[in-house]
Amino acid sequence: MSDKMKTGRVCIDAELCTGCGHCKEVCPVDAIGGVPGSPQKIDEERCVMCGQCIHVCAAFGNGKKAGHDPLETQEPAFAAHYVGEVGQVLTALGQPHTLKVVQCAPAVRVALAEEFGLPFGSLTPGKLASALRAIGFDRVYDTNFAADVTIMEEGAELLFRLKAKENLPMFTSCCPAWVRYVEQAYPDLLGHLSSCKSPQQMAGALFKGHGADLNGVASNLVYSVAVMPCTCKAFEASRPEMESGGLRHVDHVITTRELARLIKHKGVEWGDLKETAFDAPFGEYTGAGNIFGNTGGVMEAALRTACESVTGKPLGEITFDAVRGGQGVRKATIVHEGLELTVAIVGGLAHVAPLLEAVRRGEADFDFLEVMCCPEGCISGGGQPKVLLPFNRPVALAQRKAALYAHDSELPVRKSHENPNIQKLYKEYLGEPLGHLSHELLHTDHVKKRGGVHE
Ligand code: SF4
Ligand code: SF4
């Protein structure tokens, strides 16, 4: 990452760091160095910006540095911290003449309320939507909708590759920390990544294209913000390939923690918020899009659509327990009406190397690989509320995960291809998955930015 990039960074404050080394233990790419008992330092070339070090850092400044920002919109003073874009968002919300649109990742709705004293895993999409309107957004859309688009595109791409026997196994590409890791450590395997942009970027591209038309404004007047559980998504949004017609798909990204501070800064009382819906058409989502926040969720969502698309026969059971789970590697073979697909899921980047080595040797025994850098997927992302007591962390993650799956099971539509607004989007705008417009807006070449730092 360029030293000039001042926001979207994970840092360790040398004045606050006690050198306990807890951050080093959780870093999946061995990017933290330093003598025990002395301040630790992050190697920015190696760091994939997952933010896991932030969650375990206990070196609190005890007020020494807190309050340096009168708006109180910066991270609290732990040694390992995130330097985000919330200040820019605050400024932009005050600008007239722009249409301010926002999207929220699935994991945000099961964690944000923790910052307002509610129990772990409280599901609050309605209050989230109201809070975003209250702080100044004109349209409250949803990354979950774009997750459904991702399934349409990625499912079609997988089926194309299986037929053509090209670039298999295919790797998911939703997690920017994982993509960055492949670029750095396995650049020879870049062709295995799906060409799909992440749901965050697909959403941004749609908001400034079709969304601008639907709202009757010029694309350059759409100001696009993403609320993410992730400390790597601002980096992803800043990549030069994540734009169209000279406009970035996503102008700024804020984390779940930053959104909570923004809500408090704006004087919005959480308890007073009513439940409201996200805005149509980009706010309507399925259970499949919603489970993207859990490890195995992208895979399960893809299987729901791929199995039915390729066979034309409905699934009897749409819950794929074999791909659900937590940290580590899981494999499963799915059989449906003559289709047989072997899949692998990795929760936590530290576990992926043996699978990639097998791919390198040409010995992979799976067709499709999902990797999420964070241990339990995005519910455990570096931008999520920090759980201060270590024994509460597994409890919080279990509750967030259960809440996403429970939300899936209660939604009326649970397969991406059955989302009526997805069907309408393809009919009226995109044409077909992998079509010309999809390629232009929703796909990218995963080019090697810098390679070999792990070699
Ligand atoms: S952000 Fe992630 S990759 Fe970077 S130093 Fe922290 S734990 Fe390691
Ligand atoms: S798993 Fe999710 S939160 Fe973690 S780095 Fe990847 S996209 Fe970000």
- Is the CB of residue 51 below 6 angstroms from any atom belonging to ligand 1? yes
Residues 371, 356: Cα–Cα separation, whole Å: 11
* 157 annotated active-site: yes
**pLDDT value of position 66:** 41
pLDDT digits (tens, 9 = 90+) for 248-276: 999 999 999 999 999 999 999 999 999 99
Atom of ligand 2 nearest to the CA of 295: 1
First-to-last C-alpha distance (Å) of the chain: 18
pLDDT score recorded for residue 2: 43
Q: Does the annotation count 416 as an active-site position?
A: no
By alpha-carbon position, which residue is closest to atom 2 of ligand 1?
A: 50
pLDDT of residue 8: 86
What is the rounded distance in angstroms from the CA atom of residue 40 to the CA atom of residue 18? 8
Candidates 182, 173, 176; CA nearest to 151 is 173
Q: Which residue among the candidates 122, 173, 194, 198 is catalytic per the annotation?
A: 194
Torsion of CA 47, 149, 443, 451, to 10 degrees: 20
State yes or no: is 25 an active-site residue: no
Q: What are φ and ψ of residue 388, in 5° steps?
A: -70, -40
pLDDT, position 69: 54
Q: For this structure, is 373 an active site residue?
A: no
Ligand 1: residue whose CA is nearest its atom 6: 53
Q: What is the pTM of this model?
A: 0.95
Q: What CATH architecture does domain 1-83 belong to? A: 2-Layer Sandwich (3.30)
Q: Does domain 151-194+286-417 have CATH number 3.40.50.1860?
A: no
Q: Give me the catalytic one of 208, 233, 386, 415.
A: 233
Is the CB of 48 within 6 Å of ligand 1? Answer: yes
**Which tokens belong to 21?**
């080394």
- What are the domain boundaries of the chain? 1-83, 151-194+286-417
Evaluate whether 267 touches 116 at the Cβ level (below 8 Å): no
Question: 177 is written with which tokens?
Answer: 């920390």
Nearest residue (CA) to ligand 1, atom 8: 27
What confidence score (pLDDT) does residue 410 get?
96
- Which of 376, 132, 131 has the alpha carbon at shortest distance from 272? 131
Distances (CA, A) of 441 to 8, 102, 192, 207: 24, 18, 20, 11
Q: What is the whole-number distance in angstroms between the Cα of residue 25 and the centre of ligand 1?
A: 10
Judge contact between 32 and 48, C-beta under 8 A: no
Low-confidence ranges of the chain (pLDDT < 70): 1-6, 62-76, 447-455
